A and B are shown apart, each in its own frame.
Chain A
Amino acid sequence: AQTVTQSQPEMSVQEAETVTLSCTYDTSENNYYLFWYKQPPSRQMILVIRQEAYKQQNATENRFSVNFQKAAKSFSLKISDSQLGDTAMYFCAFMKSSGAQKLVFGQGTRLTINP
């Protein structure tokens, strides 16, 4: 079974700073997807960024980028120039690329951006 671990329950940074959220996972699969989801106070899950395991290039979406280390099974999220609207719970998630394709979530990291 796959597991996802987020070792930082809470983080807090000042606006405009850069912050990195950690995520490690365990799987015996070779092909899979990794995701970072944001859950603001509204509780709506929002996809931040997606990485396909077969791609070596790290995914980037504007201020959000990942550091994907397949051998180390590590998938960290970097938020540059953080904004107040980035305050939310962030969940790292894993999905096999075939079969049932169920999302397995990490425990989450509560990120607070301070003015």
Chain B
Amino acid sequence: GAVVSQHPSWVICKSGTSVKIECRSLDFQATTMFWYRQFPKQSLMLMATSNEGSKATYEQGVEKDKFLINHASLTLSTLTVTSAHPEDSSFYICSARLTGGLNTGELFFGEGSRLTVL
């Protein structure tokens, strides 16, 4: 099946620094990728839809200047948490939709990235 890889899987940073998380589709092209945030013992909350070659679409309540998303190629989307603070500590997950082919609605998920801000 299609593979999505996230890097890093775990990152610890100091408050005020910026952190970049990468989401790569390894064996398929993905025009659209999605970024989610998951707090402990809670569900996944969609943060934004990342579109290759255009601006991301953010969900209501998500600060676009805080969470910068870049989707520069058909296999890579990045999420940058700018000026991170302890409340940004969370598990961030990306998913990707296969471009072209039969639309089955299926999304492929990365392994997730745990961010801890000290």
Contacts and interface: CB of A to CB of B under 8 A. Distances in A.
A103 B42 contact: no
Contact of A103 (B38, B46, B104): B46
Given A47-B106, A50-B104, A107-B43, A101 B111 contact: no
A103 to B, nearest CB: 6
Interface in A90-104: 91, 95, 97, 100-104
A97 B43 contact: no
A101 B93 contact: no
B64 to A, nearest CB: 17
Interface string A78-90: 0000000000000
Q: What's the interface size class on B, roughly?
A: 20 to 34
A97 B46 CA distance: 17
Interface in B24-50: 32, 34, 38, 41-46, 49
Interface in A22-42: 33, 35, 42
Secondary structure of the B contact surface, majority rule: strand
Nearest to B113: A43
Nearest to B38: A43
Given A91-B43, A105-B43, A106-B43, A33 B105 contact: yes
B24 to A, nearest CB: 15
A105 B104 CA distance: 18
Interface string B74-118: 000000000000000001010101000001111101011000000
Contacts of B112: 43-44
A15 B109 CA distance: 28
Nearest to B108: A47
Contacts of A43: 38, 91, 93, 111-112
Contact of A50 (B34, B91, B105): B105
B109 A44 contact: yes
A107 B57 CA distance: 23
B105 A97 contact: yes
Interface string A1-37: 0000000000000000000000000000000010100
Given A45-B109, A50-B104, A52-B105, 8 more contacts: A44-B112, A50-B106, A101-B105, A102-B49, A103-B34, A105-B43, A108-B42, A110-B41
